[in-house]
Structure 1
Amino acid sequence: MTTTPATTHAARAERWQRFRANRNKALAAPHGWLTLTSFQWLEDSPSAVEPAPGLWSTDATGSTAFLTAVPADGLTLVETGEKVDGTVSAVLADEESLMWVQFGGPDGDQVVVELAMRGGRYAIRTRDAASPAFTEFDGVPTFPYNPDWEVTGRFEPYPAPVDVPIGTANPLVDGVHRSVGEVVFRLPGSSHEFRLQAEEEKLGALTVTFHDETNGDTTDEWRKLSLPRPRPDGSVVLDFNRAINYPSAFTPYGTCPMPVKNNSLDIRVEAGEKEPYPGR
C-alpha cells in the first residue's frame, strides 16, 4: 500500500484525537487539578486553615510541617487510612508535594489535603471531588487539528543547564526554569526564526513554555508544549496541535511556572488548547 498525503493526514489526525482523549481523561482524574479549591501558607504556630479541619503549622525553621487533630475532625491519612489522633509530621524538599490527609463525604475521602513545599515554604491545597470545575468538566476546548502547525526544528543545547528565575501563577511564589538549550524553528505566517528556551524532562524529552498573540483572547495567558527527544542530528518535532494549558488555567490555586523572558511568539498560534472558561 502506498502512503498518500491524505492517508498521512488522517493518521496524524487520529493520533491527535487519541492524545485529546487521554488528555481529558487525565484532567478528569479523581482529586486531580480540576478539584483544587484552596491554597494556604502554613505559619510556625498551630492555626486553623480553612477549609481543612485540624491545626496546621511548621517548626520555627520551616523545615517540617505538622498537623494536630482529634478523631472528631474526621481526618485520615491518605496512604494508610489511619485516623489522625494527635500530631503527625512530614518533611518535603522544595517543589515536592504529598497527598497527606483526607476528610468529608460519605466515605471520608471527598476532600484530599495536599501538602506542598513552594519557594522554601509549606502550604496546603485542598482537592475537593465536589468542585464544580471537576463535576461539570466536559473536555478542554481546542482549535481544530491543523497539520500546518506541526513543524520540524532543531535543538541547540547549552554547554550546561542554566537556572533562570521566573514568576509563577501565584504572585507570592517564585520559580526557577532550568534551561538546557534552545529550540529553533519557523512557523506558518512568519518570516523569521523563533527560539524558545527548553527544559529537559524524562528520557531526554523537552518542554517549552511560551506566550503567543492569542493569549488573553482565545487562549490562556501562556501554554506549554512537550517535545520528543531530539534526534541524533539535533532535529526535533514541534506539534503545536498538542499545546496544552497549565493547571492555573483551570484553577486560581495553581503555582504554575511562567515562560522565561523572551519565550514569546509574535504571531497567533491558533492550535492546541483554548481558554477553558471563555468570558469568565
Structure 2
Amino acid sequence: MTTDVGTFVESWQEWHTGQEGRIGDPHGFLAITELHWLGDEPERYDDAPGAWSTGPDGVRVVLAEGEELVVDGVAVHGEYSFGVIGERDSLFPVSGDAVIEVAKRGGHDILRPRHPENPLRVAYTGTPAYEPDERWAVSGRYVAFDSPRPTTVGAAVEGLQHVYDAPGQVEFELDGQELSLTVFPGHAPGSLMALFTDATSGVSTYAANRSLGIGAPDADGTVWLDFNRAVNLPCAYTDLATCPLPPAENRLPVAVEAGEKTPYERA
C-alpha cells in the first residue's frame, strides 16, 4: 500500500516486467507444443521421447534405445515410473533443450512437452495492460467459512472440471459497489487467489477468466486487492491449457479497467 503515485507506478512496472519474463520463459506455457491425454496403452508422441501410459500405479514411460530423460538431475533410460501424481501437481523431466511436463489436471494424467523454439513463444512480444491506477487498489476483509467448501468449477477444456477447497471469501468495495469474491488457496503459504470475470471480460480483457493474487490476511482479516495486477491464465494464450473458470459468484458487475488485457495472440 502506498499513497505515492510515483512509487506505486514504479512498483507496478517492476512487477509487470517480471510477469512478462515469466510468460516468455523458454519453458513457460507458451513453449507447450501439444496436450496429450495419457491412457492405459503406451503411446508415442512426436514431441517427446518414449512411450507413455498411466494406470493405478501412476505414469510410466518406456524409453527406446538411444532415448533419455533427465529426472531431478539424473539420466534415466529404459522403463521409468513417475508414480501417482497429485491433482494440480507437475513434474518436469528434461529432454535435450525441452522440458516434458507430466501432470494431473481434473483427475487426468497429461503430458505437455515444452520446447523453447515453439512458434507461439518465439513470436511473443508482450501482453497489453491497462496503465496502473491507484483507484483499482483497495482494502478488503477476508471472511473465513466455518470449514473449507469444496467448489467445483469448469475448465478451458470442455468436459473437464476442477475442484478447489475454498477457505472463505473476500468482501470489498469497488467503483462504489459492495462486492465479494470466493477465494482459493494461493501458491505462497497463507496467501489467496481469486478467479473472476467482470464487465470488461470479452471486451478489452480475456472473456473466460482472470486471476488475482491476494496476500495472507492480517490478524483482523484485512487484505489488499490490487486489480492492477490481475493476470491472464495460460488459456488466454493457448488452447493447450486446462485453466479453471471462475465460480459463478465471482462474476463482478463492474468494469475492472485494470490489469492485463486480452493477449495479442487472441485478439
What is the CA–CA distance in structure 1 between the aligned matches of 2:120 and 2:71, rounded to whole Å? Answer: 23
SS of the counterpart of 1:216?
coil
Q: Which residue of 2 aligns with 1:148?
A: 135
**Would the alpha carbon gap of residues 275 and 260 (structure 1) be closer, same or farther in structure 2, given more than 3 Å must change?**
same
Match of 1:22 among 18, 22, 30: 18
Deviation at 1:259, TM superposition (A): 0.7
Question: Structure 1 length as normaliser, TM-score?
Answer: 0.87
Count residues in correspondence: 263
Deviation at 1:194, TM superposition (A): 0.8
Match of 1:251 among 230, 238, 243: 238
Match of 1:48 among 44, 47, 52: 44
What is the CA–CA distance in structure 2 between the aligned matches of 1:203 and 1:90, rounded to whole Å? Answer: 26
SS of the counterpart of 1:169?
coil
What is the CA–CA distance in structure 2 between the aligned matches of 1:82 and 1:156, rounded to whole Å? Answer: 48
Q: Which residue of 2 aligns with 1:203?
A: 189
Match of 1:66 among 52, 60, 69: 60
What is the CA–CA distance in structure 2 between the aligned matches of 1:245 and 1:82, rounded to whole Å? Answer: 35
Deviations 1:203-247 (A, max 9, x none): 322111101111112111210111122222222111110101111
Deviations 1:112-158 (A, max 9, x none): 21111223321111111011222222322100111111111211111
Structure 1 gap ranges (5+)? 103-107
Amino-acid identity (%): 34
**1:161 maps onto 2:154 in alignment:** no
Bigger Rg over Cα: 1
SS of the counterpart of 1:258?
coil
**Would the alpha carbon gap of residues 119 and 222 (structure 1) be closer, same or farther in structure 2, given more than 3 Å must change?**
closer
SS of the counterpart of 1:115?
strand
**Would the alpha carbon gap of residues 20 and 55 (structure 1) be closer, same or farther in structure 2, given more than 3 Å must change?**
same
Structure 2 gap ranges (5+)? none
Q: Which residue of 2 aligns with 1:105?
A: none
Q: Tell me the amino acid that sits aligned with residue 226 of structure 2.
A: D
What is the CA–CA distance in structure 1 between the aligned matches of 2:20 and 2:265, rounded to whole Å? Answer: 18
**1:94 maps onto 2:81 in alignment:** no
Deviations 1:160-215 (A, max 9, x none): 11111111112242101221111111112x4x311100112333221111011111
Q: Is the 8 A contact 2:137 2:228 kept in 1?
A: yes
What is the CA–CA distance in structure 2 between the aligned matches of 1:52 and 1:82, rounded to whole Å? Answer: 15
The alignment yields a C-alpha RMSD, in angstroms, of 1.9
SS of the counterpart of 2:242?
coil
What is the CA–CA distance in structure 1 between the aligned matches of 2:64 and 2:222, rounded to whole Å? Answer: 58
Deviation at 1:266, TM superposition (A): 1.0
What is the CA–CA distance in structure 2 between the aligned matches of 1:46 and 1:35, rounded to whole Å? Answer: 24
Q: Is the 8 A contact 2:195 2:250 kept in 1?
A: yes
What is the CA–CA distance in structure 1 between the aligned matches of 2:185 and 2:64, rounded to whole Å? Answer: 44
Q: Which residue of 2 aligns with 1:219?
A: 205
What is the CA–CA distance in structure 1 between the aligned matches of 2:265 and 2:38, rounded to whole Å? Answer: 33
What is the CA–CA distance in structure 2 between the aligned matches of 1:230 and 1:54, rounded to whole Å? Answer: 46
What is the CA–CA distance in structure 2 between the aligned matches of 1:131 and 1:78, rounded to whole Å? Answer: 22
**1:80 maps onto 2:73 in alignment:** yes
What is the CA–CA distance in structure 2 between the aligned matches of 1:278 and 1:213, rounded to whole Å? Answer: 21
Q: Which moved more, 1:270-279 or 1:146-155?
A: 270-279
Q: Is the 8 A contact 2:52 2:62 kept in 1?
A: yes
Q: Tell me the amino acid that sits aligned with residue 161 of structure 1.
A: P
Question: Structure 2 length as normaliser, TM-score?
Answer: 0.91
Deviation at 1:81, TM superposition (A): 5.4
Q: Is the 8 A contact 2:92 2:101 kept in 1?
A: yes
Q: Tell me the amino acid that sits aligned with residue 68 of structure 1.
A: V
Q: Tell me the amino acid that sits aligned with residue 119 of structure 1.
A: G
Deviation at 1:25, TM superposition (A): 1.5
